[in-house]
Amino acid sequence: MAASDVTRMSKVFRALSNKNRLQLFLNLLEESRLDLAKGRTHDCFLATIISNLRIGAPSISHHLRELESAGLIETSKEGKQLVCSIRPQVMKDIAAFFAAKS
């Protein structure tokens, strides 16, 4: 395994090591699970995320930035709404990382 792969995965796992970020990521993943199986991305609006979690909007924004920085999600704006989507390739990369170690 290349050192760059280990470095990249450590950033992913560091982002997911926070319980709020992990819960946020799992919520996004759950909402997009069916679309990911079909090879499409699913967009989730920040307002939907806030209604599903018991943390404030500023905290969610911080956690979303961390998840985006780690390459786990993408965010964009649609009008005044923040839209989040899972990067499908990252799930494949995580699976491949562990498969290479077995």
**Tens of pLDDT along the chain (102 residues)?**
688 888 999 999 999 999 999 999 988 887 776 555 555 555 666 677 777 777 887 888 899 999 999 999 998 888 877 788 888 888 888 888 888 866
User: Given this model, what pLDDT does residue 33 score?
Assistant: 66
Q: Are 4 and 52 in contact (CB under 8 A)?
A: no
User: Given this model, what pLDDT does residue 34 score?
Assistant: 53
**Domains defined for the chain, CATH in brackets:** 3-101 (1.10.10.10)
Q: Residue length, the chain?
A: 102
DSSP state of 80: T
User: Given this model, what pLDDT does residue 82 score?
Assistant: 79
DSSP state of 53: S
